[in-house]
Amino acid sequence: MEFTAKEIAEILSGTVDGNPQATVTTFARIESGKPGAICFFANPKYEHYVYECQADIIIVNKTFIPQKSVKATLVRVDDAYSAVASLLDYVTAKKRSYKRYRGLRSRIRWSARLGKKVYVGDFAYIGKRARIGDCTKIYENVYVGDDVKIGKFCTIYPGARIYPGMIIGDNVIIHSNAVIGADGFGFAPLEDGTWKKIQHTGNVIIEDDVEIGANTTVDKSQMGSTIVKKGTKIDNLCQIAHNVEIGPNTVMAAMSGIAGSSKVGEHCIIGGQVGIAGHLTVADNTSFAAQTGLLSNVRKSGEAYMGTPAIPYMQYMRSYAEFKRSGKK
């Protein structure tokens, strides 16, 4: 990539404060910005780096007022954090190319139907009656089972496993070694102390614009569907159990799990190592701090929770402050 400050400002609908012809060829964090790099400044605690940074261009908020002289050219935007994400998207899109490719060691069953410019890497397997949309990339060692439907502009990274009958929307990213559609953890206790497996006959539906992290598992339902709705982002090493529904634009950090038949609303934030028990309902716009354990329904929208069992965040902090004081007596 090579961009001038003027070009970047036009892409981001921003303004230039400094040399509009300043040119950059790479991205860098503001702590380690060097000549030829572009950085961004959004967190106030990093302000001192703005004055020390050697980068040629820094993206900042329009409201930023320097307290010292700044060497770099500033590109001012409404929101520096989202602007750099948009710029990265723009650069990635320019580099991205779509072309038809079939690895010589791949196996595509004759009844599968692949759209235009689909990439299939070596040792990938695409099962009977599978449907793959235009410009989707199926990388090496991916398994796509019978009757799977995958939409357009998806990326399935090496080693991912998509069980038969699963449905994947458009613009979905599934990272390496994720498993979509394994049986849920369902067993019935018998009188002799053994456990009888409950067969899972449903599927998983992943809607458009979802991202699934590496080594994450999304189990198929006993009946009906496990559903991950549009725009949701799931980190690495997460567990989504059978018959779970996750609302649109929810984010879920690493090592979190949602037990069977729970329903999580839209725009929720689930921190790392959060556990949500089964058969619960979580209201829209709920936030969970790391390592929270939820054991009961959340009915009120917009609340934040912490601790195990989970309690409202401010209540937890007051309780923790009292706990610390009692320990000093």
Catalytic residue among 48, 242, 267, 279: 242
Question: Are 210 and 192 contacting, i.e. CB atoms less than 8 angstroms apart?
Answer: no
Please state, as a whole number, how many other Cβ atoms lie within 10 Å of the Cβ of residue 66: 12
Q: Is 240 exposed, middle or buried (0-12, 13-18, 19+ CB in 10 A)?
A: buried
Question: Which of 302, 241, 248 has its CA nearest to residue 276?
Answer: 241
Q: In this structure, are strands 179-180 and 225-228 parallel, antiparallel, or unpaired?
A: unpaired
**Sign of the four-CA dihedral 75, 79, 80, 84:** negative
Q: DSSP alpha helices (H): ranges in 13-63? A: 47-52
3-state secondary structure of 44: helix
* 279 given a catalytic annotation: no
Residue pair 280/292 in contact by the 8 Å Cβ criterion: no
Beta bridge partners of residue 75, listed in sequence order: 16, 59
Instruction: Supply the residues annotated as catalytic.
Output: 242
